[in-house]
Structure 1
């Protein structure tokens, strides 16, 4: 084993293939659509006859998912190479710190969406002591935001995966 290696185990070779990259993008899309379906299912349930309470899903319940989706869009629009750009790369215009600030704003939006989902769950459903069928609407909100976060992680990893045809030039 080489002394320059940090970890004992190597990354599997199949993780560098374009097939794994495509599978990651599709998995992220499936997680993202599942998150919207979860909250849409809760919204339909809230206005059905099975919901025996006066609590319904409103725009306030959708707001955390909107912020999480916006954070996912911001995070995944930044290339990994922009984060480690040196002063001689990209004409020295300070691209690295700008990309890091935008990435921070994306993570803040993603975390704010998750915190908003938990806040809606606690203030609207737990404090008012709603029972389970109605409490499902708050849990679905938190679950939907968690799925958007997981989708963002999967998409970031799969987009920034080295392709087998990619090569890096180093000085």
Structure 2
């Protein structure tokens, strides 16, 4: 096994990850508001900002994982527990505290992302229903086509009669 990665470097990267996740959380809250208001311009801005933060978060994760891998520690739960077991009591508490905060921030981001996803899905269904009404399609005549999307059964039925 190689040298143990420096705790201060690991904690600094973890803290930076927490900062990225916190910023992402704030963007998801702003996205929620924009979705409620159907503010397309703001949504486009937020998507760009989220993409930037996600790229930074990915780089942060890769750097942290590279530190662990270089030390012969797998960047998974078992590997992190093994690393923590090698630390003295103070270091272990510091590492666990940072890591717990990172996990909590990640759970918060996941929850807010799911909330926004539900709104997007609901809005999409509503738009689909409106478009169906505009096209004069009866919802009862809608089936799934070969690609898994919804097709128009009425059109298929009229072809069969011809």
Fold-level similarity (TM above 0.5): no
Query: Which TM-score bucket, shorter chain as reference?
Result: 0.3 to 0.5
Q: Of Structure 1 and Structure 2, which has the larger fraction of its residues in helix?
A: 2
